[in-house]
Amino acid sequence: MVEYSNSSTDTALETESIRARWGAFAWTEANAAKAKEIVARYPPGRQASAVMPLLDLAQRQIGAGTNTQGWLPVPAIEFVAREIDMPYMRAYEVASFYTMYNLVPVGRFHVQLCGTTPCLLRGSDNVMAACKDKGLAKGKTTPDGLFTLTEVECLGACANAPMVQINDDNYEDLDFDKMSAILESLARGETPKPGPQVKRQTSAPVGGPTTLKHMAETTA
């Protein structure tokens, strides 16, 4: 059995056990159809342009088969490269550049916590403290394989800081208690509501419309 790495951003692993487990990687029937559809979006001879969505598809297939968020073992990257007639190293360069791809195994829920300036000023340290309080450690996977915690750069939701991305969902406007509640909910097998965790619409002001509301009232 492959042991989890200490970091979800390490260099891609290549061991005998990984080669034995994933060396015969191939699309499922459903994903083969999806892959064909993806490649068809690009002009003839430009199939290499499909590398990013195909790597994502491979990661999701592995995630579905392992009940995790998914990752890209070397054989899976090799398979995608062959599918689009791309040198393996070119596909690996893409997989290792973008943090949306995991090059080592991660847990069922990949908690990516933004620690850059806007989130830090708004209390990301408290969010990190909530994660640690629930047994998560930065760059590691919990012993039960449920959570992997990674500190990342800006995730583009600065107006809703502090925030985390868990798999495909953003959870915003967090504090210690809200983050704790989200982790507890996931551990129970529930799906907490993503988005702002306070009473506001997406990135609108917490107290509701201000400037545009005043403009509407004065021009009515």
- What's the CATH number where 118 sits? 3.40.30.10
Task: Note the pLDDT of residue 6.
Answer: 38
**Shared-domain flag, residues 62 and 114:** no
- The DSSP code sequence of 23-92 is TT----HHHHHHHHHHHTTS-TT-GGGGHHHHHHHHHHHHHHHHTSS----HHHHHHHHHHTT--HHHHH
Residue 143, preceding peptide bond in cis (omega within 30° of 0)? no
Task: Note the pLDDT of residue 186.
Answer: 98
Residue 103 lies in a domain: no
Q: What is the pTM of this model?
A: 0.84
Task: Note the pLDDT of residue 107.
Answer: 97
**Of 67, 97, 127, at which residue does a domain stop?**
97
DSSP assigned state of 22: H
Task: Note the pLDDT of residue 66.
Answer: 96
Reported as a single tens digit per residue, the pLDDT across 109-143 is 999 999 999 999 999 999 999 999 999 999 999 99
Residue 4 lies in a domain: no
**Of 97, 122, 149, at which residue does a domain stop?**
97
CA 13, CA 41: separation in Å to the nearest integer? 31
Residue 68 lies in a domain: yes
Q: Give the 3-state secondary structure of residue 7.
A: coil
Residue 182 lies in a domain: yes
How many structural domains comprise the chain?
Answer: 2
Task: Note the pLDDT of residue 219.
Answer: 63
Q: 79 near 73, Cβ under 8 Å?
A: no
Task: Note the pLDDT of residue 200.
Answer: 86
Task: Note the pLDDT of residue 12.
Answer: 59
Positions of the chain with pLDDT lower than 50, given as ranges: 1-10
**Shared-domain flag, residues 68 and 133:** no
Task: Note the pLDDT of residue 8.
Answer: 38
**Shared-domain flag, residues 113 and 186:** yes
Reported as a single tens digit per residue, the pLDDT across 66-94 is 999 999 999 999 999 999 999 999 999 99
Residue 217 lies in a domain: no
CA 40, CA 47: separation in Å to the nearest integer? 8
Task: Note the pLDDT of residue 7.
Answer: 37
CA 124, CA 176: separation in Å to the nearest integer? 9
**Shared-domain flag, residues 88 and 143:** no
CA 39, CA 27: separation in Å to the nearest integer? 14
- Burial of residue 169 (CB within 10 Å: 0-12, 13-18, 19+) is middle
**Shared-domain flag, residues 130 and 167:** yes
What residue numbers bound the domain in which 118 lies? 109-196
